[in-house]
Amino acid sequence: MLKSERELLTELKAALTNRRYSPVAIRNYCAYAQGFLEYLMHRGIPVADVTEDLVERYLHHATALFRKRRGRRPSKRWHEVPQSGIHALLRLGQGQWPPAPKVACAADALRFTICNEYETWLREERGLAQASIDAFLREARYFLAWQLDRSGVEGLKGVTVTDIDSYMDLRGSKLRRSSLKSTAERLRSLLRYLQRTDRVAADLSPHIISPRLYAYEGVPSILERDQITAVLASTSMDTTAAGLRDHAILQLLATYGLRAGEVRNMRIEDIDWRAEVVRVRHSKTQAYTLLPLMEPVGEAILTYLRSGRPATDAREIFIRTRAPYRKLDKLYSLVRRRLRDAGVKPLGKCGPHIFRHARATELLRAAVPKKVIGDLLGHRSTGSTDPYLKLATEDLRAVALDVPGTEVLA
C-alpha cells in the first residue's frame, strides 16, 4: 500500500475518532476503506480519479466477494457501512464527496449555466424557501438533461409543444396525480423563465396540461386526543437517549402543531428559558413566531438536553443518537415507530403532519378564530387554514340543517 494511502487511513481513523464514532464503527469503516484502496491499487487508479460510477462498481464487487466467502447474500442494507466508510475516505482524499459535476460537453455547460441562474432567480426574484428551490431545480435539471440529450444545444431554442407532451408522458408514467400536478407547475415555471431569458422562442407554459385536483377532495389523517395521550405516555416510558429525544419532539408536535422542518431546525438559542418563550422559524415563510413555552414541552426538552443529547458543536436541539452527531434528516420514521409502539394505527399516512392536523382540529372545535390558528401554524393567509375545516366533522354534524319537506314516519 502506498504511503499516501496509509496516511489517508490514519486521517480517516482520527477524523472518525474526533467525531465520536464508536470503536466498532471506526474499525468497520477503516476496514472497508482499506479494501477499497487495495481495489484501486490493483487497477492503478489514484484516489483523485475516483468517480461515483467506480464506487458503485466496487460495491457490486464487494457484494459478490461477501457472497463467495460466506456462501450467502448480505442483507439489503449491508452496503451502507462500506459505502459510508468509502465516502468518508473520499471526502479526505478529494476534498469533497460526491464530486462536483464536471462539464463534459457544451450541453452540460448550458445546463449548469441555466440552473445556476435559475436558482438565483427563484431565490431573489420569487423569494422561495430553500426546500421549494431544490424541488424546482430538480425538475429543471431533469427536463434540461432530457431535452438537450435529444436535440443538442441548438434544439433548446426550438422546443415545441410536442416535446413538452412527450416529456410529461414520460414523467406521468411513474407519478400519482398530485405529484404530476407539482411536476407540471415546476415545468411551467422553468419554461416561463427560459422564455423570459430568451432561451426559448415562445412561452409554452400555458400548453402544459396537468391533472385537476379538487379542493378538499381528500381527508387527511389525524389523531384524537386519547391517541395523542397514549403516544406521549408510551414514549415517556423510554428513558434511553432516543426515547428522551423522541418524547420532546412529540410534545412539540402535539402542543404547537409544528411542521417537521420547524422541529428539526429548532436551535438551542430559540428557547428563552427565563421568559418561557420558544421561537419558531416557519420553514415555508421564513417568518418567526414567538410562542409560550408550555410546561410539558419545556420539561421534556430540558430532560433531553441534560440526559439524552450527545456532546456536539451542532446548535440544533435534536441530534442523531449515533455519529455523526448532526441534526435529524427527517421525522417520519421516528413518528411512525412511536405510533406503532403505542398501538395507535391512524387511517392513511402516519407521519408528523398528523399532529399538525390534530392540533388545528382541536382549536377549531374550541371556536378559536381561523386567523389565530393560521398564525400559530405559520400560514400566510386564512385560506391556507381552510383545509383543516373538513376535519371537524362532529362540529359540522352539529349544525346540519333539516331537509325541507321530509317527515319521520311512525
Catalytic center residues: 259, 284, 353, 356, 379, 388
Q: Which amino acid, 342?
A: A
Q: How far apart are CA 60 and CA 54, in angstroms?
A: 10
Core vs surface per residue 285-301: b (16+ CB within 10 A) or e: eeeebebebeebbbebb
**CB–CB of 249/297 below 8 Å?**
no
**CB–CB of 111/144 below 8 Å?**
yes
Which DSSP string corresponds to 246-270?
Answer: HHHHHHHHHHH---HHHHHT-BGGG
Spatial strand order of the sheet with 277-281 comes to 271-272, 277-281, 288-292
Contacts 24+ apart (CB under 8 A), 203-207: 204/159, 204/160, 204/161, 204/164, 207/161, 207/164
Which DSSP string corresponds to 297-354?
Answer: HHHHHHHHHHHTSPP-S--BS-B-SSSS--B-S-SHHHHHHHHHHTT---SS--STHH
Residue 254's nearest CA partner among 225, 233, 277, 281 is 225
- Per the listing, cell 425538475 goes with 139
Q: How far apart are CA 29 and CA 39, in angstroms?
A: 15
DSSP 3-state of 137: helix
**CB–CB of 389/220 below 8 Å?**
no
Where helices occur in 19-46 by DSSP H, the ranges are 23-43
